[in-house]
Structure 1
């Protein structure tokens, strides 16, 4: 059986955000950590993710949005575990992000008009992480403000990580 851990960004996703909808629709999707509010403290988020991953030997798929992608990269730099893959959705371009290949299959979804990351920076992150790049087009930060609610294309990407 595969576990699915939702790795939140900096803030609390709105109730109709795609990640919240997925958590409601799939009982096996668990927050790691439960979505906290700002500020984003990388060490705390990495520790919470490690606790969640270490809680089982089952293969795990990480589903990260925004700063959650940073959490995954920092976690992978310091820890190992039964992670089978990661969906990294609209990672922000900030200083100090680990820029080494992730030790598991990953897909980076990059927007053409994300206010937190240029497409070129997103391409570079995907390449440095060894992630498959998905050009999402002009979707903003792929969040509620950008009109995402439902995101069936993302669910297909999660399924691709399983296959």
Structure 2
């Protein structure tokens, strides 16, 4: 089984997204298949993540993007399985007043320290997460904060297919 679990966000990660590229190129990576990518339910996503983690033969590295980051954080508050580490890339701020109503049930965003090594990587111009909020979440979660500079939401729309800096961050857990 995989030692890296890819946890995409709302609407999944398309074929050119860095998460999909990693899944295809890393021999030990697998995507966590969520029950419904277009109408996410927190409880369903957290349980799908738990099932994927339970199927791993060794403690996995979790790689979340956007809403997938919140699934990881919610999972950590209700489950107790060993995790080698987590890379949380561009978490979605579901508490933003201008956020998608569909994603609000993933709030409130947990503000506890995660029980595993975590890196939170965020852009300074992400339309879904303000820089100050990213730093505050990293502090609350006990994560090392990495400021990626201006690079949008780290998705294909912001010009990200391959993401070499992310691969370097992932390598820190390996």
TM-score range with shorter-chain normalisation? over 0.9
Structure 2 residue runs of 5 or longer lacking an equivalent are 96-107
Q: Deviation of residue 161 (structure 1)? A: 1.8
Question: Given the two structures, how large is their TM-score scaled by the length of structure 1?
Answer: 0.94
Give the distance between the partners of 1:136 and 1:56, measured in 2 at CA. Answer: 30
Give the distance between the partners of 1:109 and 1:36, measured in 2 at CA. Answer: 26
Give the distance between the partners of 2:170 and 2:9, measured in 1 at CA. Answer: 18
Paired residues of 1:13 and 1:35 also in contact (CA < 8 A): no
In structure 2, what is the equivalent of residue 37 of structure 1? Answer: 37
In structure 2, what is the equivalent of residue 158 of structure 1? Answer: 170
In structure 2, what is the equivalent of residue 63 of structure 1? Answer: 63
SS at match of 1:137: coil
Residues 29-38 or 104-113, more deviating: 29-38
Paired residues of 1:12 and 1:35 also in contact (CA < 8 A): no
Asked if 1:107 is matched to 2:119, the reply is yes
Q: How does 1:4-23 map to 2 (within 5 A)?
A: 4-23=4-23
Identify if the C-alpha distance between structure 1 residues 149 and 36 changes in structure 2 by more than 3 Å, giving closer, same or farther: farther
Paired residues of 1:5 and 1:31 also in contact (CA < 8 A): yes
Give the distance between the partners of 2:89 and 2:24, measured in 1 at CA. Answer: 19
User: Out of 141, 144, 147, which is 2:153 matched to?
Assistant: 141
Give the distance between the partners of 1:111 and 1:41, measured in 2 at CA. Answer: 26
Paired residues of 1:9 and 1:65 also in contact (CA < 8 A): yes
Q: How many residues align?
A: 162
Q: Hey, which of these two has a bigger chunk of strand by percent?
A: 1
Give the distance between the partners of 2:157 and 2:77, measured in 1 at CA. Answer: 31
Q: Deviation of residue 72 (structure 1)? A: 0.4
SS at match of 2:58: coil
Superposed CA RMSD = 1.6
In structure 2, what is the equivalent of residue 76 of structure 1? Answer: 76
Paired residues of 1:64 and 1:86 also in contact (CA < 8 A): yes
Q: How big is each residue's C-alpha offset from its partner over 1:76-95, in whole Å with a ceiling of 9 and x where there is no partner?
A: 00001120100000011223
Asked if 1:89 is matched to 2:89, the reply is yes
Moved over 3 A (4+): none
Q: Deviation of residue 2 (structure 1)? A: 7.2
Structure 1 residue runs of 5 or longer lacking an equivalent are none
